[in-house]
Chains A and B, each alone.
Chain A
Amino acid sequence: MKVRFWGVRGSLPVPGRLTNRYGGNTSCVEVRPRGDWPIIIDAGTGIRRLGKSMMESAFGDGRGTAHVLISHTHWDHIQGLPFFSPFYQQGNRVHVFARQRHDTHLQAVFASQTEDPYFPVPLSALRAEIEFHELVEGSQFEIGRAKVTCTRLNHPWIAMAYRIDVDGAAIVYCSDTAPFSDVLLEHEFIRTPPQVGGVLDPAVAEKLASMRAGLVAMCRGADLLIYDTQFTPEEYRARPHWGHSTPDDAIHVAREAGVKTLCLYHHAPTRTDEQQDVILHATQELCRTAGEPFEVIAAYEGLELALGDEEGA
């Protein structure tokens, strides 16, 4: 399979010279099993260019099928959807997957993204056939030859991590999540940040531990682990309730799960290319010194990786 990054930024798109190299578009990753339709993870602003490139293929004449896995519906993960060209071509089929909600249907959440007064084109006016699929933690399903599994993350309003196995390789997409150590993030708004490193209520500690165990199990042996590493340690201590991790947190999961490559992802909007270089090099150095068996890379727009059967091809 091939994996290509179209948006690597968290929270807000950040155009400008200072982000030209890593890119300013928000979350969007394309996974392309060999000879098959694309599986897209998240629909931040990066999906706009991906959609345009797809229109050069069968999607241009309305004969394409795409699957979109949404980690969660925060803006930086869905903002690009109304600008996804294949939606506007009759005949295309798009399957959208996201976590089931207890209070409303997924379709209603997406419909409200584009309803008046927020956007000029309502969901109902799109020409492609769009089907919504609601997932629960642990859901397993197939997309063509690809096997997909999911598990929940520690993020406000809850996010899903996905694993895709196909062509003799496995990738895991883990964004957005806080570490599983200081605060349990679900549906309540947390006004004042808890003390990092404080003692947790046993029930909360247990829930976090099982969430983390689920993630580590899902990452087991993956060739590529894409991980939300938006925060520096200082930023995390100031905002542990915002639902993002540091490279350190990602390293621990990567080590326990025995992954081959760890990919830093969901870069902070305020991070310049030079600052991101410093974070990457420090993380690589740390892992080299510690003798970690995995490689560390940082996602940037346009990065393409060939995995499994396509490695070296």
Chain B
Amino acid sequence: MRVRFWGVRGSIPAPGPETNRYGGNTSCVSVHTASGELIIIDMGTGLLSLGNSLLPTEFGKGAGKATILLSHAHWDHIQGLGFFAPVFIPGNQFVLWGHAKSSSLLEGILEGQMNPNFSPLYTLRNLGATVDVRAVIPGEPFEAAGVRITGRPNPHGSTTALAFRIDEGDRSFVYASDVGYAPGGPSPEVLELYRGASALLHDCTYTPEHQEKRRNRGFSSYEDAADAAARAGVGRLIMFHYDQDYADTDVDALHASCRAALDARGGQAIELTAAAEGLELEI
């Protein structure tokens, strides 16, 4: 499978020359499976460019199909939906998987962002394409886009965010953004979800010093990310969801520190990649 990053920033888009290299758009990742299906993970502002890139394909003709995985409904993970061109083209079909007690509750949450107070779209029903909303049952694998997907909630401040594992043949990609572990790190179930993944994309919002000051927000430091990756024995760790105040040079430093943290935990064999807008990885 091929993973591409469309938005790698956390909390709020951070435009400006100082974020040109890693990018200022909020969370959005695409996964093209080996069999050619499309999975979109999270719908931050990066979704605008992903959508435009899909217009020359069957999505431009209203014959596109994609699976969307939603980690949670914080603004930086849903704001792009109203700017995703394929969703306005009748005929396109999306199945959206997220975390809620029921799919109708999840639909209500997405409906809330289209509320006319906030958006000129008024309601999800004005989108054109069909969006079939489904609730993920934690730990229970489901088939979508021809691959096996499993979701498990991680603590995230006062709420939770789903981590997803996508398995295709002997390759696996885990997406774990927006994670604030309790002391002791990932739960045994979550560690199992990460276990031996070809690539683990992990929340790497800030340095441990900054995390200390903003603990209640529920994000990871590079140490948390390195720790999870080393303990789960993954092949590659992908840093993601950088703090909105970090310039490219700060992310460079975060990258170097994360490398050292991995090595210190016996993770010398783990490849390390700092996610950047436009970067594409073959898993």
Among B12, B15, B116, point to the contact of A156 (Cβ < 8 A): B116
Enumerate chain A residues within 8 angstroms of B20, measured Cβ to Cβ: 16-17, 20
Q: Which residues of A contact B122 (CB under 8 A)?
A: 189
**Min CB–CB distance B116 → chain A (angstroms):** 5
5 smallest beta-carbon distances between A and B, as pairs: A15-B24, A24-B15, A15-B15, A13-B13, A117-B73
Q: Known interface pairs A12-B79, A75-B79. Does A191 touch B116 (Cβ–Cβ under 8 Å)? A: no
**A194 lies within 8 A of chain B by Cβ:** no
Q: What are 20 A-to-B residue pairs whose CB atoms are below 8 Å?
A: A12-B79, A14-B13, A15-B9, A15-B13, A15-B23, A16-B20, A16-B24, A16-B277, A24-B13, A45-B13, A73-B118, A74-B120, A80-B12, A112-B112, A112-B117, A118-B74, A118-B78, A120-B157, A157-B117, A269-B48
Whether A45 pairs with B83 at a CB distance below 8 angstroms is no
Q: Considering the chains assembled together, what is the distance between the CA atoms of A13 and B79 in angstroms?
A: 10
> A73 — which chain B residues lie within 8 A by C-beta?
117-118
Residues of A with C-beta under 8 A to B19? 15
B126 within 8 A of A: yes
Who on chain A is nearest to B78 by CB? A118
Distance between B106 CB and nearest chain A CB, rounded to angstroms: 10
With known contacts A119-B74, A157-B117, A243-B120, A48–B244 Cβ distance under 8 A: yes
CB proximity of B88 to chain A, nearest CB, Å: 11
B15 touches A23 (CB 8 A): yes
User: Interface readout for A90-131 with B: 1 if CB under 8 Å, 0 if not?
Assistant: 000000000000000000010011001111110000000000
Q: How many A-B residue pairs have CB under 8 A?
A: 111
Residues of B within 8 A of A (CB): 9, 11-17, 19-20, 23-25, 45, 48, 72-75, 78-80, 83, 109, 112-113, 115-120, 122-123, 126, 157-159, 216-218, 244, 277
State which residues 60-84 of A face B: CB under 8 Å.
73-75, 78-80, 83
Query: Which of A45, A78, A113 is close to B12, meaning CB atoms less than 8 Å apart?
Result: A45
Given contacts A48-B244, A79-B75, contact A20 B13 (CB under 8 A): no
Tell me the A residues contacting B by CB distance below 8 Å. 9, 11-17, 19-20, 23-25, 45, 48, 73-75, 78-80, 83, 109, 112-113, 116-121, 156-157, 187, 189, 191, 242-243, 269, 301
Least CB distance from B159 to A in Å reads 6
Select one of B15, B80, B109, B118 contacting A117, CB under 8 A: B109
In the complex the two chains form, what is the Cα distance from A279 to B145 in whole Å? 43
Find the B residue at minimum CB distance from A11: B83
Residues of A near B23 (CB, < 8 A) are 15-16
Complexed CA–CA distance, A187 and B45 (Å): 27
Shortest Cβ gap from B46 to chain A (Å): 9
CB pair A120 B217 closer than 8 Å: yes
Q: Is B116 within 8 A of A19, CB to CB?
A: no
**Across the interface, which residues of B come within 8 angstroms of A75, CB to CB?**
79, 118-119
Task: Give the distance in Å from the alpha carbon of A140 to the alpha carbon of B244 in the complex.
Answer: 38
A15: which B residues are within 8 A, CB to CB? Answer: 9, 13-16, 19, 23-25, 45
In the complex, which residues of chain A have a beta carbon less than 8 angstroms from the beta carbon of B117? 73, 109, 112, 157
B277 partner residues in chain A, CB cutoff 8 A: 16
Do the beta carbons of B158 and A116 come within 8 Å of each other? yes
Chain A residue at smallest Cβ distance from B277: A16
* A73 closest partner in B (C-beta): B117
Cβ–Cβ < 8 Å partners of B116 in chain A: 156-157, 187, 189
Q: Name the residue on A nearest B180 (C-beta).
A: A120
Q: Say which residue of A24, A74, A118, A120 sits within 8 Å of B119 (CB atoms).
A: A74
Which of chain B's residues has its CB closest to A101's CB?
B117
A259 to chain B, nearest CB (A): 28
Given contacts A15-B19, A15-B24, A187-B116, contact A83 B75 (CB under 8 A): no
- A120→B15 contact, CB < 8 A: no
For B48, B118, B244, the residue with the greatest tally of chain A CB atoms inside 10 Å of its CB is: B118
Are the C-beta atoms of B118 and A16 separated by less than 8 Å?
A: no
Inter-chain CA distance A52–B24, complex, in Å, is: 18
- Give the distance in Å from the alpha carbon of A19 to the alpha carbon of B157 in the complex: 33
